[in-house]
Amino acid sequence: MYTGNTKNLGVIGDPILHSLSPVMHNQALLAANLDYVYIAMPVKSHVLTEAVNGLRSLNFRGFNVTIPHKTNILPLLDTLDEDAQAIGAVNTVVNDNGCLKGYNTDVFGFVSALEKHGFSIAGKKVVVLGAGGAARAVIWGLIKQHAVRLTIGVRNPDKAADLVTYFRKYMDIRLFHWQQESFTAELVQADLLVNTTPLGMFPHDDAMPPVPWEQLNPAAFVYDIIYTPSKTLFLQKAAEYGHQILNGEEMLVGQGAAAFKLWTGQEPSAEVMLTALQTTLAKQQTQQK
C-alpha cells in the first residue's frame, strides 16, 4: 500500500510504453518491502527541460533515462559520475535534496552479465558490431575492464568515425566496414563478439549483422544485447556453430539493479527482477504470435 511517505521513481523517454523497467523495479521494491513506486513517464524532446525540473521540484528520488534523452539531459544535471562523463550519456539520475547526479549503469549491466557467465574481459580480443548509442556503454565497459584489443565493425564507417575517435584516447580501436576482408581477419582471433545493433530486434526478427560464422574463432563468446526476441537470429546462428551465447536480458537487469541500489541504498533481488522481466517478455511474445 502506498502512503504519504511513498518515494517516487520512474523512467522518462519517448516512446515509453514498451518499457519493462516498471515491471522489474516494482517487483523488486515489493520483494524488498520498500515504500517506493516506479512509473513510466512519456517526455517529448521539446519539454525535456521542464520535465527534469518538474521531477526535481516534485522531489522524485530518482529516475531512469532512455531514448532520446540520454545525451540531451547532460546539461540539465548538476553532476555526473565517471562513467556518464566518459560515455557522454546518462541512463540513471539520483535526486539528493534537489541536486541531480547522472550515472550510466549500462556499463555495469553489460560487464556483470558476462561475469555471471564466467567470461572475464581482461586481456581479451573483442569485436563489436555497431557504433550507435547502444555501443557507447559497451565500448567503455570493454576499456574499463582492460580488453587487450578492440575492433568495431559497421556498415557505415564514416558515421562511426567520431565515436571511434572519441574513445581512441583511452585505447587503440580498429574500425572496419563489416564486409571487408580485413575485418574477417579480426573475427578469426576474437574472444568475444558483441552485437550492439538493432538488427534482429522484434519485429524484424529475420535480420542480423553479416557475420561469416565459419571464420569466427570457434571458442568465441557471442553476446547480443537485444532481448526481444530472447534468441535472435544472430544468437541462433552462433549456437549452431557451437558458441556460448548470451542475450540482453541480464544486462537490462544488471543496469536496473545498479540504479535500484543508487536510489534506495539496498541491493535488489536480481532473481526477482529477471523473473519479472522474463515473465512479461513471454506474455508479449505469446500475444505477438
| Domains of the chain as residue ranges with CATH | 7-104+252-288 (3.40.50.10860), 120-243 (3.40.50.720)
Instruction: Report the first-to-last Cα separation within the chain, whole angstroms.
Output: 36
> In angstroms, what CA-CA distances link 223 with 6, 22, 138, 210?
38, 25, 11, 15
Is 70 catalytic? The answer is yes
* CA-based R_g, the chain, Å: 19
- Look at the alpha carbons of 36, 40, 41, 44 in this order and tell me if their dihedral is positive or negative: positive
Tens place of pLDDT for every residue, the chain, 289 residues? 678 899 999 999 999 988 999 999 999 999 999 999 999 999 999 999 999 999 999 999 999 999 899 999 999 999 999 999 999 999 999 999 999 999 999 999 999 999 999 999 999 999 999 998 889 999 999 999 999 999 999 999 999 999 999 999 999 999 999 999 999 999 999 999 999 999 998 888 899 999 999 999 999 999 999 998 999 999 999 999 999 999 999 999 999 999 999 999 999 999 999 999 999 988 887 776 5
pLDDT of residue 45: 97
Residue 243: what are its φ and ψ, rounded to 5°? -85, 145
Residue 75: CA count within 13 A, CB half-sphere: 3
Non-local CB neighbours of 244 within 8 Å, separated by 6+ positions = 117, 119, 221, 222
Find the catalytic residue in 70, 101, 124, 125.
Answer: 70
Q: What is the pLDDT of residue 289?
A: 59
Q: Determine how β-strand 149-154 pairs with β-strand 125-129.
A: parallel
In DSSP terms, 42 is beta-bridged to: 13
Residue 261: its H or E element: helix 249-264
From the centroid of its chain, how far is CA 63?
16
Q: What is the pLDDT of residue 1?
A: 64
Predicted confidence at residue 6, as pLDDT, reads 95
Look up the pTM and report it: 0.93
